[in-house]
Structure 1
Amino acid sequence: MSEIPEGWRQVKLGDMAQEVTVGHVGSMAREYSEGGVIFLRSQNVVPHGFDLTDVRYIPVEFHETLRKSSLRPGDVVTVRTGKPGATAVVPQEWTLANCADLVITRPGPSINAHWLSYFINSVVEGFVSSRLVGAVQQHFNVGAARDMDLLLPSLDEQRAIADVLGALDGKIVADRKLIETARKLAVLWLHGAASAPLADLVEHRRTSQDPAECDAGSVAHFSLPAFDERQRPERVSPGEIKSAKFRITAPSVLISKLNPRFPRVWDVMDLPNVPSFASTEFLVLEPKYSSTSVLWAALNQPVVGHQLESMVAGTSGSHQRVKPADILKVQVADPRRLDSAIAERITNLARVVHNAREESETLAALRDTLLPRLMSGELRVKDAEAVVADAV
């Protein structure tokens, strides 16, 4: 480790934490309920926050039998398997919560929970990656967490560092809520609209190309993981993509044929300034009669999802697909019979979503740049505060 800043000290997490333990390990399928106590799993914890898209619940009575894995506000939870090291702080409003297969750290009096969460997220690529165990599914265990070296400033400075980074994450959370509200409103505007077969409303583009053949320094890759992570294409070297993909040459809507119970509909309203490629798990659809955003809202209608789920082929829960020809048969809202004012509202709402995602990506990049410098003491809080003030 580099030189320790004045007033900081190097300590072990296990020596400073009140407790480091692990969430419930064991079968849970029969214990879930429609409501009750929130029950976190690995997929629900992301760096600096939570993804509750597929969160589960357990009855209060069962929660009370799982004392060891019970969570308290201010606990720091870290993913063991899946994306090991991803860490977040249990929020104050979760007065009852439980979890499975997460490392639970209860900070001692010398550690600020939010600072600790930022610290662990900052060492995922270094310390955490070097401590993964398991031949098939690697995981980060409790012993490795206890052995983690912390470069610990004073409690006041920990709070100040957490506040600076938290200002960025607070804006990201606000953007996320804005995105969800705007998305729901856009979809709602099409409720009950007259419908037509999707094939009548789009051009289905199927031109494929090996990105490695592109004479470009980088390309935009619209992949399933990129959609799932932040709905922003990855910028990669053409040689990093190992197979042919669909070209995107005009504003389009991408819809995944994989696992329609988890709908993936991507509004590509603006093309990047580099060649763009879509995973072959997507259909590339150019709208004939509307903006991409109206088509995007139409394909996000629950009734469309129900139609697609009825068409799946394949028995594996993770590999169910809908044939492209069947997707093109679904009935969707017909923009030709839509009031122009409604179409404009939907397009404007989609632009709000797009802009908020762009802002969130910029803020997250800034946070990730500041994070290791603040944690090492290379950048002091006052200097970081000036940078953040300009951003938010």
Structure 2
Amino acid sequence: MPWCVSRLDGCMGNELTLAEVCDEIVDCVNRTAPEDLDGEYFAVGTPAMRGNVVNLSEARTITKETFVKWTRRLVPEPGDLLLAREAPVGPVIRIPEGGRYAAGQRTTHLRANPNVVHPRYLYYLLISPAVQLRIQAGAMGSTVPHLRVADVKSLRLPALPPLPTQHAIAEVLGAFDDKIAANEQVVIAGEDLMRSLVAVVATSVPVRELATHVTKSVDPTDFDKVVHFSLPAYDSEQDPVIEPGAAIKSNKFLIEQPCVLFSKLNPRFPRIWDVGNLPDLPPVASTEFIVLVPRSVSRSALWAALAQPEVSTTLVSYAVGTSGSHQRIRPAELLELAIRDVRDLPSSSRSLLDSAGSQVDATRRQSRALADARDELLPLLLSGRVSIGDLENVAASSIRS
């Protein structure tokens, strides 16, 4: 039942524009922030906003001085929003805690008016399918669709429910995201444990002694659907995407057995993907990955050896490219790189390593299920077709499972 005719104490009236529900709408500095590889701050541009989360591997690291310059018109606060208005149009992220995040190029900084709209409710409203359709419809440009700042300000939002209802909706949907965030901490702890178990190994061998480099490629258009292990999928919680084969215009590597994918791009932020149980649909990997099948070691052990800090440090010195975010390594360089020989680990450590790897995988799968449940509920909730009571029961059941 729509909010305006539901029993949930009415709605706040007619549609409002984004400008009418925000205290601040400030465009980014319209030039690229100077990158500093040792910077401890981040300029979050549109490439770093895929999946409506901050992907630091795609953000530009900047100095404190640059951060101050880039935020002089409005200093971001936790819970503020960034809206991507070009390349691509539409993603929205919430500014994390920490005070280190500036609006990057082609983004607009939003600060909700809490007397009109709950900030987290506004986030969910902006990423909802209905509002995303409005955003896409307002995008201009035949070659590269984009929004002007004026378009952002004039974006019309569906009628808002009362603030208490907004708060309840934000809390229920936020419970999913909070559990996903808690799971991410479990994943981080598990991966830290895996790295620490391998860090004690004193002997080294080339990667090629522990893994076989697989280069078999296929044309995805030969298949009706494929499961695509891409860089954007990695950045979106390592969640491969089912895509029509016809929608993929270039050859991909065929994944025929469990493996570890190692990204060639930007080794300063390593992307190392432990691919375990294969899906029923044909799995394919971006050619930006190096496909490694473990030899005489487990996938978790190979992952942990490749994830040692010195691997990234060494590969950064090998990388070629015009900037930090566009540098690449060559497969031959990775295969000859010396990594810790995990075959020398005692059996108890190998067992603990594999157990930690399994827990990391299970936790990620739970997070994907939570995200799917949230995404299914979001449009029902925002349209008022699901009551707060129904939603709270579903959320509690999903999060306990």
Q: TM-score, normalised by structure 2?
A: 0.85
CA contact (8 A) 1:79 1:103 kept: no
Aligned residue in 2 for 1:197: 206
The DSSP-based 3-state class of the residue aligned with 1:21 is strand
Measured after TM superposition, the shift of residue 124 of structure 1 is 5.0
Quick check: which one's helix share is greater? 2
Measured after TM superposition, the shift of residue 129 of structure 1 is 0.8
1:105 matched to 2:104? The reply is no
Corresponding residue to 2:217 among 208, 224, 242: 208
**1:298–1:374: structure 2 CA closer, same or farther, 3 Å change rule?**
same
1:386 matched to 2:390? The reply is no
- Which has the higher mean CA deviation after the structures are superposed, 357-366 or 319-328? 319-328
CA contact (8 A) 1:314 1:320 kept: yes
Q: Give the AA of the match of 1:198.
A: V
Aligned residue in 2 for 1:306: 313
1:11 matched to 2:15? The reply is yes
Q: Give the AA of the match of 1:115.
A: Y
The DSSP-based 3-state class of the residue aligned with 1:235 is strand
CA contact (8 A) 2:266 2:325 kept: yes
Aligned residue in 2 for 1:86: 91
For 1:297 and 1:374, how far apart are their aligned partners in 2?
A: 41
**1:259–1:15: structure 2 CA closer, same or farther, 3 Å change rule?**
closer
- Which has the higher mean CA deviation after the structures are superposed, 350-359 or 62-71? 62-71
For 2:376 and 2:287, how far apart are their aligned partners in 1?
A: 33
Q: Deviations over 1:308-346 (max 9, x none)?
A: 333334556555433322321111121322212112222
- Which has the higher mean CA deviation after the structures are superposed, 137-146 or 323-332? 137-146
CA contact (8 A) 1:84 1:139 kept: yes
Q: Percent identity?
A: 33
1:156 matched to 2:164? The reply is yes
The DSSP-based 3-state class of the residue aligned with 2:268 is coil
CA contact (8 A) 2:67 2:102 kept: no
The DSSP-based 3-state class of the residue aligned with 2:125 is helix
Spell out the pairing of 1:1-392 with structure 2 (5 A cutoff): 4-6=4-6, 7-8=10-11, 9-13=13-17, 14-26=19-31, 28-29=33-34, 34-35=39-40, 40-43=44-47, 45=49, 49-53=53-57, 54=59, 56=61, 59=64, 63=68, 66-90=71-95, 98-100=102-104, 101-122=107-128, 123=130, 125-134=132-141, 137-150=144-157, 151-193=159-201, 194-214=203-223, 218-315=225-322, 319-392=326-399
The DSSP-based 3-state class of the residue aligned with 1:157 is helix
Q: Stretches of 4+ moved more than 6 A in 1?
A: 30-33
CA contact (8 A) 1:260 1:305 kept: yes
Q: Give the AA of the match of 2:376.
A: T
The DSSP-based 3-state class of the residue aligned with 2:5 is coil
Tell me, which stretches of 5 or more residues in structure 1 are unaligned?
none
Q: Deviations over 1:76-105 (max 9, x none)?
A: 3323334433234446x5578653442323
CA contact (8 A) 1:269 1:293 kept: no
CA contact (8 A) 2:83 2:91 kept: yes
CA contact (8 A) 1:212 1:239 kept: yes
Tell me, which stretches of 5 or more residues in structure 2 are unaligned?
none
Q: TM-score, normalised by structure 1?
A: 0.86
Q: Give the AA of the match of 2:313.
A: H
CA contact (8 A) 2:260 2:273 kept: yes
Q: Give the AA of the match of 1:209.
A: V
For 1:95 and 1:267, how far apart are their aligned partners in 2?
A: 32
For 1:166 and 1:143, how far apart are their aligned partners in 2?
A: 30
For 1:34 and 1:211, how far apart are their aligned partners in 2?
A: 40
Q: Give the AA of the match of 2:118.
A: N
Note the aligned Cα RMSD (angstroms): 3.0
CA contact (8 A) 1:220 1:235 kept: yes
Q: Give the AA of the match of 2:262.
A: I
Q: Deviations over 1:46-83 (max 9, x none)?
A: 66654445464554897389542223455333233344
**1:60–1:209: structure 2 CA closer, same or farther, 3 Å change rule?**
closer
Measured after TM superposition, the shift of residue 158 of structure 1 is 0.6
Q: Give the AA of the match of 2:34.
A: A
**1:48–1:234: structure 2 CA closer, same or farther, 3 Å change rule?**
closer
Q: Give the AA of the match of 1:86.
A: P
CA contact (8 A) 2:35 2:61 kept: no
Q: Deviations over 1:2-25 (max 9, x none)?
A: 894341222223234333332444
For 1:235 and 1:61, how far apart are their aligned partners in 2?
A: 40
